Structure formats: C-alpha cells, structure tokens
Amino acid sequence: MQILEKTELKALKKARNLGPKKTISLLNKKGLTGRGGASFPTGKKWEFALKQKSKEKYVICNADEGEPGTFKDKFIMQKNPETLIEGILIASETIGAKQAYIYLRGEYENLKSKLEKTITKVIRKAKTKVNIEIILGAGAYVCGEETAIIKSIEGFRGQPYLKPPYPPVEGLYGKPTVINNVETLTAAAHAILLDNWNSLLRLFCISGDVTKPGVYELPAGIKLSEAMKLAKPKNPVKSVYFGCFGGCMPYKDIELTHDNICGEDCVSGSCTMIVVDNTRSIVDLAYVISKFFAYESCGKCTPCREGSVRILLLIKKIRQGKATAQDLNLLQELGEHIGQTSLCGLGQSCTNHILTSLKHFRKDFEKELR
Amino acid sequence: MKISLNNKNIEVDPGKSLLEICRENNINIPTLCYQEGLKPGGRCRVCLVEVDGKLVTSCTEKPKENSKIITNSEKVLKARKMNIELIMAGHITTCSIDKDAHDLCGMLEEIGLTGIRFEPIRKYKEDLGSSVVRNDNKCINCGRCIRTCAEIQAVYAIDFASRGYNEHVAPYCEHNLADVACIKCGQCILHCPVGAIHEREHLHEVMEVLKNKKKHVIVQTAPSIRAALGEEFGLEPGTLVTGKMVAALRKCGFDKVFDVNLGADMTIMEEASEFIKRFENGGPFPMITTCCPGWILMMEHFYPDLIKNNNMSTCKSPHEMLGMLTKSYYAKKANIDPKDIIVVSIMPCTAKKFESTRPELETGVDYVLTTREAAKLIRFNKIDFKNIKDENFDPALGIATGAGAIFGATGGVMEAALRTAYEFGNQKTLEKVEFNEIRGMDGIKEGTVKVKGKTIKFAVAHGGANNRKLLENKDKYHFIEMMACPGGCIGGGGQPPHISKDILKKRIKAIYKEESNMEFKKSHENPIVRKIYKEYLDHPLSEKAEKFLHTKYTKRSQF
C-alpha cells in the first residue's frame, strides 16, 4: 500500500531543500487534495497560511475521525505514525508554524501513548523546532468540523462558527492555522518524496453486510462492483451508505468518483461505504442514523437541535406503526428544511440519508404506516 | 457597494450586516437571538433571507457586490415559520402567552403560525435563585443571556451544557444560580426574548401585607423608577412619572410613600465624610462606592482583595439606610412599634432582593419589588396610571435634593459625592455643580477636582466588563464609582425590558431633568438630612451612624 510506505525523514529533508514556495508548488503539481471530505487542494490551503504575516501560526492534524464506518485514520496512526508526523512537520515548517496539534478522537485514547512516543522519536531525529502536542477530544462528532476543533482546543464548547474568516487566515487563537486530515498529511509526505506517487489512490473503508470489511487502497473511479468483489457481501446488496451523512444509494454499478456520487444525491466524503443487503429494512437504518444525529447535534442552531430530534421521534412513530401519510410528508419537509437552514456542515447534511432513502425506498416507509 | 434588496437597487455600507441594512430600509425581519451590541450568534435562524437563491441568516451575513436579496419570498417565509414552529414546540406548554411581554409570542401572528405539529419534550426543574429565577422549559436556547453575562457583564455565571436537544442553559456544574458566582444583576432578564428568566417575585407577599390592617406598610422608591415606570404603561421612554407613581402607590394601599433619594442624600453625607477622612489620613485609596449590590457581589466573588485592603466604602446602599431610619428614627417620631412597620422598596434591581436577605445588614427593608413588579401591582389594582393626578411624597422622609436624584444614572453617585466632599474639604461653596465629564454613556469616565490644593482623581465605570477594565488601573485614582449595569440603575435588571442604548439615554435625560427641578442640589443642604443628624445621629460617621448606616463584606467563592 502506498500510504504505508515509510519516508524516514527524506521527505522533510527534500521539503527543507526546496523551501516553502517550491514545496507548495510541488504539491499543487502532484494534485494532492484534502482527504477529509471536502477535497480542497492542500497546496492552496498551505499557500493561504504562508502568505499571512504573523509571528504565530498553527498546524492542526484532524484525527477526530467520528464518521460512522470510517476507520482509515486509525489505520494510518497504527501502521505508519512516523510518516504522519513527518507530514505534520513538513506542513509546520512550510507555513512557518512552531506549534502543531493532533486533535485525537476521544475514543482513540488507546493510540495516544504510542503516538506520543513516536512524536518524541521523530522530533529528536528531525532536529526541528516544531512542537507537536496531542489534544484528546471528548467524544463529540461535530468536533471533526474544523471550526469546532478550533473552539475545542481553545477551551470553549466544541461548536462550529460561521466562516469566513477561514482558518488559514484567522484560525486557532485568531492566528493563521492549517487544518488537515491524517490521511492528507501522510499523503503530503509521500507526494513530496515519491516520484511515482499516484494521486488517485484513496483509502476506502468498507463495512456493513460484507464478509471482508476493512481498509482498502483503491484508485478513485473504480467501479462499485470491483470494490464489492473484494469485500465479498453475503447477500445481494440493496444499497450503499456513504457514511451516515453521505446519504444512501440503491445498488448501482457506478464508477466511484466524487462527481458520480454527487450525481446520485449523495456526498462521497471520506470514501466510506456501509453496505446494506436485502435482508434489512431501510426504516431501521433511518432510525439508527437519526438517533446518531439527534445525539451528536451540538445544539447551537434551531433546525439541527430541534429538528433532528423531531426526525428521530417521527421515525420511531413510523416503526411503531402509528404514523400516517401526513407524518411521512412532515418527515420529508423537515428533512429539506434542516438541510437548507442549518449553520454548519453537520446540520446541512444530517438529513441526506432521510431524503435519499425517501426518494429511493419510500415503499419501505409506506409499508409501516398505519 | 450596490445590492438589490427586494428588487430595488440600493447603495449599502459593506461593513453592516444584512439585518441592519434591512432594518434601515424599513423592512421588518423577525429575530430572537440577535441583540444590539452583542456578537451575532446565528442560532435561532429566524432572520433568514434569500441571497441569490440561498437561505442565509441575515444577522451574520455581510452584503456582497451585486447580490440579489429577497426577504419575503415563499421559501423564506416557509423556512422562518418552520423554525418558529420547532422553537414553539419546546416553549409553548409553560408559557402564558403574553403578546407584549415576549418577542417570541408577539411574532406568532406575523409569522402566521397557527398549529404546532410536535409534542413538547423539555422537562427541566425550575432554578429558584434568591434574585433570579430560570425556567429552562420556556428557554429556546438563543444564548442572549449567556452572551450578555459574558460580553457585557464579564461574569460568566451561565453557559450551555449538554448537546443536541438536551442542550440547555446552566450555571457552573449544573448548580443552582444561587450557589454560583452570579452577581444577580438581572441583565439576563432584560434580554430574554421568551421570559424564561425573571426576578424572584415578592409581589404576592407584599399584597398579603397590604391587606393586613395592623401593619404600617411603607413604600420607598428608588431614583430611577420615575424615569422608567411610565414605559410599562405605554408612555414614551424618558417620561418622568414621579407624581403619578406616588399617587398610584398610595392608591394601592401603602400607608406612606417615601423617596429613596433622601437615603441617597444620607449615603452621600456618610460617603463624602468617609472620603474626606481618608483624604486627611492619606488613604487607603482608591475608595470605591458601594451603592450597587451587583457590584458588591462582583467584588466579593472576584476581587476580595478590595475588602482586605479596605478599598470599599463601608456605607450601606441608600434604600437600606432609609429603611433603617424608617424603622428607628421615623418609628420613634410617629410613635409606631418598629415591629409593625413593613418597608417595601421599589428598585430597578434584582440584586437588591438578595441584598435585603444579607444577615450582616440586619436589614431595614422587608421586601424588594422591581419596577416591573410595581407596574404589575398597579395593574392588579386597576389604576388608570396614565390619567391619575400627581401627588407628592410624604414629607417625613420624602424630601430630597438633586444630588440624590441623579443616583439613578451612571456617574450620579460620584457627582453627588464630589459636590459634598468638595464643600466639606474646602470649606467653601462649589459654584458650578455639574461634573459633565462623568455624565453620559461612555463605559469608563474620569476627571479631577482640587481639594485643599491637592488633586483628586476620580473615575466612573458601569457594566461588569467596564468595572473589570477599570480595576486594572485602579491605583491611579482616589475615588471610584462602580455600577454593575450598563447606564447605572436606569438600565438595571429590574427595569422594563426591551432596553436599547437609545432608551437608556432618554431615561438618563429624564433623571437630569428631575434634578434641575429640585430646589437644593447638594445633599448636605437637605433640611431633613440636617434635621435627622441634629435630632438623631449627631454627625456623619458618629457611633450611631456607624451602627445604622454602615456595613461589612464577605469573601465569596470565585465559582
């Protein structure tokens, strides 16, 4: 696997020799984009922060991998932490930050001590002035959102705030801050060092009703059927969920690219696929996912706070066989409303799964009406 | 910058938010979490507008060149209505819909919400504080109380706890408000759009006492009530209603109506004497005023060193002084057993409610009503407040000077104290009584005055955040006035809600108008004050005065 290749500080050395500007243009040329979900060009992000004139700058490694069905960052931190830390050092030295943070998901506490040891080791070898500190999250899904991470590290409630200003301009403690995902930072080290680096390779997390769940490194654009051949589902596949917030797609042999997935009203996010076979009811899935979002809403804005719990209660009613067609319409209306009027990405996408499953599997819901 | 607003091309200031722009163009946008002077939160999402087809909150959005903004499309109205419906589903069951009192219930008709399709789910206990009561079942999580407490008052007594639909406002570690470092200023009450926070009412106890024929019930009104009470009855902000207020209270059944302004004059006599004493002894400086119980709590919680270093004046607040005098001096003169006297204070303040329960004060005041409660009492008695004929305060303890009157506005205590201290210290008449440098709405004001050839530096701060700021350089000054609420007492937590800077300015203007009508402008010229000292207290800071008019303070926890 490309992502597991050890760069052994050669990438850092190369970046030091190139200097910040050339490092960034190299990344731009290689086409590295963010792997957290938004696919923003990494070089550009670093360039924004580099341009800011500030004595203090920060790099944050987003290791708050909270999306259900996603476990690729954990995989990297377990198998190749050295390269990740090298990537953090490259980012810090490139933009001129002396302090970097790894915002580690609360549930990954068991990774902390090993990571800390690796940090000490790598920093000693690299002879760098950059300091890396691990900050443990407290178990909030929304803290994977970059502005919520900033608030959380600053010691406030982990709630998102409105952009702009974007973090590379004004981020942690009001200073320019680069926030990158674990996979992105690791890939940055590879992109700089390896001549034959393949920008198309992604880590796919496949789970659900398959016999071989796990992390697969596959090129973006691979056909869904090819991926399924590897993961080996037990029964015929009914639909695929692109994480909880990505929405559900009835099984269709499409090429897995960002645009194709969006074409199916879904969000590709971080290449997460939860496979659902034909033994399951979509209503049950809607219930579980709604429960997740009602619990994980941060509570800041009305539609997400009040709306997500109303969706949960409506689906509960449907499962109990007490709901009417009116309730189903209300569910649809709420789903659209929350998506349109919420403040952050969580709220805006927390009803994707409802809207897509109502579109494709409305019959599953109608069956359970009164 | 040019934008199109509801299909009309207009030129706008790019620094303003869309909400401000709409309001300037007379387009009404409903809001719940927006508050003038605070950072916009974007929480309630009721102020939605359409910008180039996308729904955004107008309070947080700045205009973009050539963007097309629509404030009344079907999409906008539908989204607003749904958000209000979601909010109301949590709020409605515990709300006695009072259209004028709450922003939320007042906007239902306009929004067109008739039915709610969701069941109520909130189940919280009421948080009963000694001054402030919170009901989380009515709360709609707009966060205005939290932002007011943090940004304006710098007290940080409350914040959000839990997440998702369990998110609610809570004091530190979910304690009761009474048990945490809350200064009880009540500013959160003024800004709550749904009435989820209110004062601990003493109204019903007072109504019981008024029915009791054996009790001699005396009411005393603070300087700032007369400048704000009218608003509760639909009069313009800044209307002086001194005469109407006295007449209405008498009609409510109070036996005597006294003026706390006299207590203010007494406070000045003691405070100015104390200052001159310190001046002659060379310290300790700065001496800080103690009329404001909110500030006193802030000091006890966060700056207890001021007690240790004797920076605090020991004077009780004016209404406590007057209460003590009523129960001793007046009781003796009128030949009434002090046990049968009930003193009710009408105050612009919720912290005064707590103050009246302080054990060290051996309190002279039995009940404290806020301006809002006083208005309720007048309404219960079906008094036509607007048309009632003016009456005067009872003369026994009801004649005051202009110095006492200006206590209601920020800088007033300092100005009144300086007038007396100047004459006490210099033994000559102060010709120009106005200290204009400490009037007005600036957060921190300062000035100097010469006493016995030496320069006295004084400063005035109002609003908790400004108090903290001033304390950072307190050693520069000899004399400091602190008020916990913005604007001083006229902006107190017990005043009529819907406060804006504009309304505060109008109320202040009314206070100074009241002063200009007064015959005497200096506290020590007040004939009743002179009489009280002659007949009862001997002189300021005498043993008797120390006993009745001075107090001590307690260090409290920071949390």
Q: What is the ipTM of this complex?
A: 0.88
Cβ atoms of A26 and A18 closer than 8 Å: yes
Q: Give the pLDDT confidence score for residue A37 in this predicted structure.
A: 78
Residue A262 distance to chain B (closest CA, Å): 19
Which among B214, B521, B179 has a CA at the least distance from the CA of B354?
Answer: B179
Average pLDDT for chain B: 90
Interchain pair B165, A299: CB under 8 A? yes
Cβ atoms of B510 and B238 closer than 8 Å: yes
pLDDT digit string (tens) for A313-354? 999 999 999 999 999 999 999 999 999 999 888 899 899 999
pLDDT band at B361 (very low <50, low <70, confident <90, very high): low
Instruction: Confirm or reject CATH 3.10.20.740 for domain B2-85, answering yes or no.
Output: yes
Torsion of the alpha carbons at A40, A43, A45 and A51, rounded to the nearest 10 = -160
Interchain pair A299, B118: CB under 8 A? no
Query: What backbone torsions phi and psi does residue B287 show, to the nearest 5 degrees?
Result: -95, 135
Q: Hey, is the C-beta of A308 within 8 angstroms of any chain B C-beta?
A: yes
Q: Which helix (H) or strand (E) holds B343?
A: strand B341-347
pLDDT digit string (tens) for B379-433? 999 999 999 999 999 987 877 888 888 999 999 999 999 999 999 888 888 888 8
Q: Give the pLDDT confidence score for residue B96 in this predicted structure.
A: 58
Distance of CA B339 to the CA centre of its chain: 31
Q: B534: which DSSP letter? A: I
Which residues of chain B have a CB within 8 Å of the CB of A308? 164-165
Which among A302, A307, A304, A355 has a CA at the least distance from the CA of A328?
Answer: A355
Report the sign of the C-alpha dihedral through residues A38, A40, A42, A46, in that order. Answer: negative
Q: Please pick, among B20, B199, B271, B514, the residue that the annotation labels catalytic.
A: B271
Residue A180 and residue A193: Cα distance in Å, rounded?
A: 19
Q: Where are the domains of chain A?
A: 2-193, 201-277, 282-367
- Secondary-structure breakdown of chain B: helix, strand, coil percentages, each rounded to the nearest 5: 45, 15, 40
Residue B434 and residue A22: Cα distance in Å, rounded?
A: 68
Distance of CA B89 to the CA centre of its chain: 32
Most B CBs within 10 Å, among A327, A341, A342, A351, to test the B interface: A341
Residue B62 and residue B58: Cα distance in Å, rounded?
A: 8
Which residues of chain B have a CB within 8 Å of the CB of A337? 79, 82-83
Average pLDDT of span B163-180: 90
Which among B218, B312, B323 has a CA at the least distance from the CA of B262?
Answer: B323
Interchain pair B141, A299: CB under 8 A? yes
Residue B478 distance to chain A (closest CA, Å): 37
Average pLDDT of span B437-451: 91
Is residue B98 predicted with pLDDT exceeding 60? no
Residue B279 distance to chain A (closest CA, Å): 45
Query: What backbone torsions phi and psi does residue A260 show, to the nearest 5 degrees?
Result: -65, -40
Interchain pair A299, B44: CB under 8 A? no
Amino acid symbol at B150: A
Instruction: Confirm or reject CATH 3.40.50.11540 for domain A2-193, answering yes or no.
Output: yes
List Cβ neighbours of A15 (8 Å cut-off, separation of 6 or more). Answer: A23, A90, A93, A94, A192
Which residues of chain A have a CB within 8 Å of the CB of B48? 341
Which residues of chain A have a CB within 8 Å of the CB of B167? 298-300, 305
Residue A54 and residue A44: Cα distance in Å, rounded?
A: 18
Q: Give the pLDDT confidence score for residue B416 in this predicted structure.
A: 92
DSSP sequence for A147-183: HHHHHHHHTS-----PPSSPTTTS-GGGS-EEEEEHH
- Secondary-structure breakdown of chain A: helix, strand, coil percentages, each rounded to the nearest 5: 50, 15, 35
Interchain pair B82, A334: CB under 8 A? yes
Put simply, the chain A residues between 265 and 284 with a CB less than 8 A from any chain B CB are none
pLDDT digit string (tens) for B224-236? 999 999 999 989 9
Q: Give the pLDDT confidence score for residue B431 in this predicted structure.
A: 84
Q: List where CATH 3.40.50.1780 sits in chain B.
A: 203-549
Which residues of chain B have a CB within 8 Å of the CB of A340? 55, 79
Residue A93 and residue A9: Cα distance in Å, rounded?
A: 13
List Cβ neighbours of B386 (8 Å cut-off, separation of 6 or more). Answer: B233, B234, B235, B244
Indicate left, alpha or beta for B178 from its phi (over 0: left) and psi (-120 to 50: alpha).
Answer: alpha
Cβ atoms of B285 and B478 closer than 8 Å: yes
The answer to whether B355 is a known catalytic residue is: yes
> How many contacts (CB atoms, under 8 Å) link A and B?
86
User: In chain A, what's the furthest Cα-to-Cα distance?
Assistant: 70
Q: Hey, is the C-beta of A301 within 8 angstroms of any chain B C-beta?
A: yes
CA distance to A25, A334, B189, per residue, from B92 (Å): 58, 20, 19
Q: Where are the alpha helices (DSSP H) in B314-445?
A: 318-325, 331-334, 351-355, 371-380, 402-405, 412-426
In three-state form (DSSP H/G/I as H, E/B as E, the rest C), the secondary structure along B349-362 is CCHHHHHCCCHHHC
Q: Give the pLDDT confidence score for residue B404 in this predicted structure.
A: 85
Q: Which residue of chain A comes nearest to B46, CA vs CA?
A: A302
Determine the topology of domain A201-277 in CATH: Ubiquitin-like (UB roll) (3.10.20)
Put simply, the chain B residues between 51 and 70 with a CB less than 8 A from any chain A CB are 55, 57, 60
Is residue B99 predicted with pLDDT exceeding 60? no
Cβ atoms of B81 and B17 closer than 8 Å: no
pLDDT digit string (tens) for B1-11? 899 999 999 99
Q: A63: which DSSP letter? A: E
The answer to whether B119 is a known catalytic residue is: no
Which among B82, B58, B163, B40 has a CA at the least distance from the CA of A338?
Answer: B82
Cβ atoms of B211 and B499 closer than 8 Å: no
Cβ atoms of A236 and A277 closer than 8 Å: yes
Cβ atoms of A123 and A157 closer than 8 Å: no
Query: What backbone torsions phi and psi does residue A183 show, to the nearest 5 degrees?
Result: -65, -40
Q: Please pick, among B22, B33, B142, B489, the residue that the annotation labels catalytic.
A: B489
pLDDT band at B113 (very low <50, low <70, confident <90, very high): confident
Interchain pair A157, B43: CB under 8 A? no
Cβ atoms of A39 and A267 closer than 8 Å: no
Tokens of B35: 């508050």
CATH architecture entry for B127-199:
2-Layer Sandwich (3.30)
Report the sign of the C-alpha dihedral through residues B50, B54, B59, B64, in that order. Answer: negative
Interchain pair B43, A302: CB under 8 A? yes
pLDDT string in tens for chain A (370-residue length) = 899 999 999 999 999 999 999 999 999 999 999 988 778 999 999 999 999 999 999 999 999 998 899 999 999 999 999 999 999 999 999 999 999 999 999 999 999 999 999 999 999 999 999 999 999 998 899 998 999 999 999 998 888 888 888 999 999 999 999 999 999 999 999 999 999 999 999 999 999 999 999 999 999 899 999 999 999 999 999 999 998 888 999 999 999 888 888 888 888 777 899 999 999 999 999 999 999 999 999 999 999 999 999 999 999 999 999 999 999 999 999 999 999 999 888 899 899 999 999 999 999 999 999 8
Interchain pair A302, B141: CB under 8 A? yes
Q: Hey, is the C-beta of B100 within 8 angstroms of any chain A C-beta?
A: no
CA angle, B108 as apex, B104 and B109 as ends, to 5°?
145
Question: Among residues of chain B, what percentage have pLDDT more than 90?
Answer: 64
The answer to whether B149 is a known catalytic residue is: no
Q: List where CATH 3.30.70.20 sits in chain B.
A: 127-199
Residue B485 and residue B185: Cα distance in Å, rounded?
A: 7
Q: Residue B56 pairs with which residues in a beta bridge?
A: B49
Q: Hey, is the C-beta of A128 within 8 angstroms of any chain B C-beta?
A: no
Interchain pair A340, B45: CB under 8 A? no
Residue B555 and residue B184: Cα distance in Å, rounded?
A: 16
Distance of CA B356 to the CA centre of its chain: 16
Q: Give the pLDDT confidence score for residue A38 in this predicted structure.
A: 79
Residue B11 and residue B2: Cα distance in Å, rounded?
A: 5
Q: Residue A238 pairs with which residues in a beta bridge?
A: none
CATH architecture entry for B203-549:
3-Layer(aba) Sandwich (3.40)
Q: How many CB atoms lie within 10 A of CB A53?
A: 6
Strands (E), chain A: 58-63, 99-104, 131-136, 177-181, 201-208, 214-219, 237-241, 248-250, 272-277
Tokens of A210: 């398959």
Residue A105 distance to chain B (closest CA, Å): 17
pLDDT digit string (tens) for B23-66? 999 999 999 999 988 888 889 999 999 999 999 999 999 999 99
In this prediction the pTM is 0.90
CA angle, A311 as apex, A308 and A316 as ends, to 5°?
130
Residue A305 distance to chain B (closest CA, Å): 5
Q: Hey, is the C-beta of B278 within 8 angstroms of any chain A C-beta?
A: no
Residue A141 distance to chain B (closest CA, Å): 11
Q: Hey, is the C-beta of B169 within 8 angstroms of any chain A C-beta?
A: no
Interchain pair A330, B83: CB under 8 A? no
Is residue B100 predicted with pLDDT exceeding 60? no
Q: Which helix (H) or strand (E) holds B55?
A: strand B54-57
Amino acid symbol at B71: T
Length of chain A: 370
Q: Which residue of chain A comes nearest to B119, CA vs CA?
A: A310
Put simply, the chain B residues between 353 and 372 with a CB less than 8 A from any chain A CB are none
Distance of CA A54 to the CA centre of its chain: 29
Residue B55 and residue A153: Cα distance in Å, rounded?
A: 30
Residues B162-187 as b/e (b if ≥16 CB within 10 A, e otherwise) read ebbbebbbbbbeeebbbebbbbbbbb
Determine the topology of domain A282-367 in CATH: de novo design (two linked rop proteins) (1.20.1440)
Is residue B148 predicted with pLDDT exceeding 60? yes
Summary count for chain A: helices (H), strands (E): 16, 9
Q: Hey, is the C-beta of B104 within 8 angstroms of any chain A C-beta?
A: no
Sole residue written with tokens 């680096």:
A197
Q: Which helix (H) or strand (E) holds B8?
A: strand B8-11
Which among B124, B122, B92 has a CA at the least distance from the CA of B105?
Answer: B92
Q: Hey, is the C-beta of A337 within 8 angstroms of any chain B C-beta?
A: yes
Cβ atoms of B29 and B22 closer than 8 Å: yes
Query: What backbone torsions phi and psi does residue B414 show, to the nearest 5 degrees?
Result: -60, -45
CA distance to B199, B380, B460, per residue, from B493 (Å): 9, 22, 19
Residue B277 and residue B352: Cα distance in Å, rounded?
A: 28
Q: Give the pLDDT confidence score for residue B101 in this predicted structure.
A: 61
